[in-house]
C-alpha cells in the first residue's frame, strides 16, 4: 500500500495497493495481445490510437484538476499539458504509416528485397510525476503505433494518470495492448530485467538510469533513458532583451522549476548584464505564489517537503559561499504554514565551484552569471555532467548555429527554451542519458529491422 500526498496542503490525497501480485499475469497477457496488435495494419492501429487520444482528451477538466491535486501545478497552467499531449500524439500518428512502412530497395531482375520494421514486443514505460502525461506520451503513442504492447508504471505521486490513460485505452484499444501497474522500485527493476520485455523507457534520476541499465545487462534490447539536467542559456548583447527575459523567467519558474528542460543557469553578456538583471527580477516579482487550485495563482508548491528542503539547502550553501539572493520573500503572500511553497529565487555572484551551478536543482531557483565573451559562455555551458537542452538568445542565426555545434547537448535552441518539438528527436548526452523519443528516429528505437532477400526463381 502507498499514499499520495498532495503538495497543496500535505494531506493524504489517495491510497493505492501495489500491483506486485499482478506482474506475471500482466506480462503474459501483454505478450499475447501484442501478437494480435502487431498483425493489424499500421493504418488500423493509427485509427484506434486516434480514438484513444480523443477519448482521453474528452476528460480534460477532470484530468486537469487531478494533475493540480497530485503535483501542485496551478490549475491555470495545467491545461497546457493536455495541449502538448495532443500535439505530440497527433504528430507521431501522422507520420506513422510513412515511417513504419517497409524500406523497399530498387528492383533487380529476379529479386525482391526490402527491410521490414518488426515491433520490439512489450514496452515497459516508467513515467515521472513532473509532467506525467507529456513525458509518458513520448513513449506510449510511438510504442503502440509501432505494434508494441505497453505496460505503464507512473510515479507513486501520480497514480491517477496511469488509471486515466488505461480507462481510455480500455474503451478504444484491444484488451491488454495497454496495461498499467502500481509498482515499488524493486518490482519495477524485476520487470526491466524480465526477458519477455523488449523495450524499456525511463524518465527519472541518473541513479535510476544506471539501475535500469544494469538490470538489462541480461539481454540485448533498446533502452531509452532521459535523466538529469542543468540546462543553460546564453544571452548575447544583440538579444531582444525584454522578450528574452520574458521567456527565460518562464523557462526558469514554470511548474515551480520542476521541468526536465527548465532553465537552471543563465550566462549574460557583461554589456547587458545589469539591465538583464533589472528586468528579470522585476518580472519574477509578478508571480502569484499560492494555492494552485486558485485560478489567479501562477506558481504553486514544489511536489514534496523533501524536495523543498533539498532546494533550500542548495541555495543556502551557495549563499554561504558568497552568492546573493535578489528576491525578497516578504513581498510574496503565500501559505507559510506549508514549507513546500517556495518563492522564485534569483542568485548572482555564483560560480561553478558551487553545487547550485553544477548539480540539478529542480526547483524555482536560477543562477545568473556575467560573461565577457562567447568563448567563456561556451566553456561554462559545457561545464556540466548533463546535456539535455541549451539555448542561445541572439538576433544572429549564423552565429547561433556555429555556437550550437560546439555545445554538448541533445537539443539546441535559439530564442526558445523549455519546449519539445515532436518532429525533433528528444535525447540527451553525457549523464542525461541515451536513446531517443519523438521524431521519426524514435520509431527506429521501437522496432527491429528484418531484411527480406527473395529470389523469384533459380
Task: Say whether pLDDT at 457 is over 90.
Answer: no
For 315, half-sphere exposure in the C-beta direction (CA atoms, 13 angstrom radius) is: 23
Domains in the chain, please, with CATH? Answer: 1-226+431-453 (3.40.605.10), 229-412 (3.40.309.10)
| Long-range contact pairs involving 167-173 (C-beta distance under 8 Å, separation at least 24) | 168/52, 168/55, 168/56, 168/59, 169/52, 171/55, 172/48, 172/51, 172/52, 172/55, 173/48, 173/49, 173/52, 173/144
Task: Say whether pLDDT at 451 is over 90.
Answer: yes
Which CA distances in Å does 276 have to 48, 82, 148, 266, 279?
A: 49, 33, 49, 11, 5
Please provide the DSSP assignment of 176-207 as one string: TSEEE----HHHHHHHHH-TTEEEEEEES-HH
How far apart, in whole angstroms, are the C-alpha atoms of residue 440 and residue 91? Answer: 10
- pLDDT recorded at residue 357: 98
Which CA distances in Å does 339 have to 234, 253, 304?
A: 32, 18, 9
pLDDT (tens digit per residue) in 171-216: 999 999 999 999 999 999 999 999 999 999 999 999 999 999 999 9
Task: Say whether pLDDT at 295 is over 90.
Answer: yes
Q: Which of 417, 448, 429, 416 is nearest to 226 (CA)?
A: 429
What's the first-to-final CA gap in the chain, in angstroms?
A: 65
Helix, strand, coil distribution of the chain in percent, nearest 5: 45, 20, 35
User: What is the average per-residue pLDDT within 390-418?
Assistant: 98
| CB burial readout 379-399, b (16+ within 10 A) else e | ebbeebebbbbbbbbbeeeee
What are φ and ψ of residue 205, in 5° steps?
-80, 165
User: What is the average per-residue pLDDT within 408-431?
Assistant: 98
In sequence order, what are the residues at sequence separation of 6 or more whose Cβ sits closer than 8 angstroms to the Cβ of residue 362? 130, 257, 258, 262, 307, 311
The length of the chain is: 458
User: What is the average per-residue pLDDT within 322-348?
Assistant: 97
What are φ and ψ of residue 228, in 5° steps?
-75, 170
Task: Say whether pLDDT at 30 is over 90.
Answer: yes
pLDDT (tens digit per residue) in 41-63: 999 999 999 999 999 999 999 99
Q: Are 222 and 445 spatial neighbours (Cβ–Cβ below 8 Å)?
A: yes
pLDDT (tens digit per residue) in 364-401: 999 999 999 999 999 999 999 999 999 999 999 999 99
User: What is the average per-residue pLDDT within 163-174?
Assistant: 99
Q: Return the H-helix or E-strand segment holding 34.
A: helix 23-39
Q: What percent of the chain has pLDDT over 90?
A: 99
pLDDT (tens digit per residue) in 309-334: 999 999 999 999 999 999 999 999 99
Global confidence as pTM: 0.97
pLDDT (tens digit per residue) in 230-257: 999 999 999 999 999 999 999 999 999 9
Amino acid at each position: 500500500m502507498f499514499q499520495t500526498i498532495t503538495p497543496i496542503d500535505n494531506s493524504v490525497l489517495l491510497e493505492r495497493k501495489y500491483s506486485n501480485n499482478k506482474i506475471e499475469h500482466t506480462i503474459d497477457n501483454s505478450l499475447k495481445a501484442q501478437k494480435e496488435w502487431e498483425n493489424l495494419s499500421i493504418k488500423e492501429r493509427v485509427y484506434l490510437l486516434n480514438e484513444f487520444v480523443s477519448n482521453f482528451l474528452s476528460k480534460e477538466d477532470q484530468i486537469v484538476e487531478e494533475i493540480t491535486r497530485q503535483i501542485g501545478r496551478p490549475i491555470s497552467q495545467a491545461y497546457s499539458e493536455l495541449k502538448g499531449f495532443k500535439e505530440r500524439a497527433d504528430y507521431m500518428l501522422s507520420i506513422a504509416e510513412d515511417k513504419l512502412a517497409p524500406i523497399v530497395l530498387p528492383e533487380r531482375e529476379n529479386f525482391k528485397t526490402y527491410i521490414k520494421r518488426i515491433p520490439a514486443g512489450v514496452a515497459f514505460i516508467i513515467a515521472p510525476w513532473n509532467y506525467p502525461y507529456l513525458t509518458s506520451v513520448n513513449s506510449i503513442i510511438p510504442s503502440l503505433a509501432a505494434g508494441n504492447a505497453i505496460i505503464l508504471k507512473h510515479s507513486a505521486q501520480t497514480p491517477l494518470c496511469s488509471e486515466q490513460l488505461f480507462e481510455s485505452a480500455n474503451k478504444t484499444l484491444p484488451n491488454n495492448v495497454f496495461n498499467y501497474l502500481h509498482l515499488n522500485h524493486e518490482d519495477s527493476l524485476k520487470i526491466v530485467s524480465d526477458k519477455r520485455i523488449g523495450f524499456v523507457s525511463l524518465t527519472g534520476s541518473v541513479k535510476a538510469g544506471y539501475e535500469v541499465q544494469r538490470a538489462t545487462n541480461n539481454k540485448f534490447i533498446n533502452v531509452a533513458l532521459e535523466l538529469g539536467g542543468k540546462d543553460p542559456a546564453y544571452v548575447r548583447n544583440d538579444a531582444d532583451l525584454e522578450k528574452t527575459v520574458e521567456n527565460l523567467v518562464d523557462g526558469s519558474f514554470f511548474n515551480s522549476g520542476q521541468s526536465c528542460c527548465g532553465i537552471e543557469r543563465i550566462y549574460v553578456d557583461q554589456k547587458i548584464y545589469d539591465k538583464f538583471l533589472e528586468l528579470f527580477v522585476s518580472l519574477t516579482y509578478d508571480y502569484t505564489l499560492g494555492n494552485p487550485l486558485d485560478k489567479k495563482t501562477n506558481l504553486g508548491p514544489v511536489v514534496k517537503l523533501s524536495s523543498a528542503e533539498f532546494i533550500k539547502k542548495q541555495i543556502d550553501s551557495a549563499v554561504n559561499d558568497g552568492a546573493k539572493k535578489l528576491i525578497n520573500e516578504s513581498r510574496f503572500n503565500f501559505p507559510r504554514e506549508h514549507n513546500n511553497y517556495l518563492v522564485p529565487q534569483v542568485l548572482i555572484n555564483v560560480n561553478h565551484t558551487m553545487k547550485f551551478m553544477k548539480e540539478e536543482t529542480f526547483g524555482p531557483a536560477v543562477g545568473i552569471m556575467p560573461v565577457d565573451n562567447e568563448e567563456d559562455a561556451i566553456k561554462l555551458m559545457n561545464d556540466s555532467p548533463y546535456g539535455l537542452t541549451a539555448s542561445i538568445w541572439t538576433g544572429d542565426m549564423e552565429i547561433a548555429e556555429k555556437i550550437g555545434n560546439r555545445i554538448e547537448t541533445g537539443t539546441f535552441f535559439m530564442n526558445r527554451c523549455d519546449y519539445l518539438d515532436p518532429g525533433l528527436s528528444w535525447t540527451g548526452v553525457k549523464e542525461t542519458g541515451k536513446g531517443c523519443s519523438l521524431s521519426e528516429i524514435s520509431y527506429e528505437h521501437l522496432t527491429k529491422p528484418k531484411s527480406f532477400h527473395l529470389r523469384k526463381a533459380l
